[in-house]
Amino acid sequence: MRITGKTGIMFVLAHPVGHVRASAVLNEYFQARGLDFAAAPLQVAPEDLGIVLDGIRAMSNVAGFGVTIPHKIAVIRHLDAITEEARRCGAVNFVRREADGNLIGTNLDGVGFVTGLRAAGVGPAGKSILQLGAGGAGRAVAFALAAAGAGVLTIANRDGTKARELARAVATGFPTVEVHAGNAARGPFDLLVNTTSLGMKPDDPLPFDLELVEHTPVIADIVMTPPETKLLATASRAGRAVVPGRAMLDAQMDLVAKFLKIH
């Protein structure tokens, strides 16, 4: 990779920075397309986020940046504008730096997830879907599934209040989608989606009952490390179709390039 004064620069802001994968995926994307751009992770402590963003405003060779844990919500108050997707989710994962230094945030997690599903041959339209998780990523995925025409969307979460609040918000935004909140959901479902962090640690329990996994045609996980979670391994063994977390990130690359006007 040849980085020169003409190279457009991107950052990925995180704390801790060790788990960041998006910079490598972005660089692979830029290289595969011969784009003169490069991305580097930046370790930014929460209390320094404002200073770093002020710095980026002053750096005119920066195209934009990604933000991940713990900045996805906190970054919003430092930005000049956010897109409808980011507003709905209450979280931002990519920011464009405009020529005048203005910073515009968006959230591509949801549309990336749905694009990844479609790339794996699974369209959410009309489907009965059980989503586990109502955190930042869960919000993005739920709104995107509804926007993609999900038939029935059931949202479960350890903290049931968050699931009910998200279900209400999705139902309000998308009145044609039947939305439920419920941890006791039994199915049958066409698709199970894990948007929690369960599966990152080797001793994590399965996010769904084994029986549900074995009786649902498609299982999607947004966990990216490990690439094959226990959930996906179990589903594959049972002959189910699986969509790994990496699909969501891969699908976001074209979307990021478009949003940042990289070409």
Q: Which residues bind ligand ATR (CB under 6 A)?
A: 133-138, 157-159, 162, 196-198
**Edge-to-edge strands, sheet with 152-156:** 178-181, 152-156, 128-132, 191-194, 218-221, 241-243
Please name the residue ranges forming H helices in 15-48: 22-32
> How near is the Cβ of 135 to ligand ATR at its closest, in Å?
2
In the DSSP assignment, the letter for residue 98 is P
Q: Of 177 and 248, which has the nearer Cβ to ligand ATR?
A: 248
> How near is the Cβ of 139 to ligand ATR at its closest, in Å?
8
> How near is the Cβ of 134 to ligand ATR at its closest, in Å?
5
User: What is the separation of C-alpha 251 from the centre of its chain, rounded to a whole number of angstroms?
Assistant: 10
Lookup: tokens for 97: 């730096």
> How near is the Cβ of 227 to ligand ATR at its closest, in Å?
17
Could you give the residue numbers annotated as active site? 72
Indicate the residue whose CB is closest to ligand ATR: 135
Provide the 3-class DSSP secondary structure of residue 166. helix
Cα separations in angstroms, 208 against 24, 62, 129, 132, 239: 31, 42, 13, 8, 16
Q: Of 29 and 208, which has the nearer Cβ to ligand ATR?
A: 208
Q: Of 118 and 162, which has the nearer Cβ to ligand ATR?
A: 162
Q: Of 79 and 141, which has the nearer Cβ to ligand ATR?
A: 141
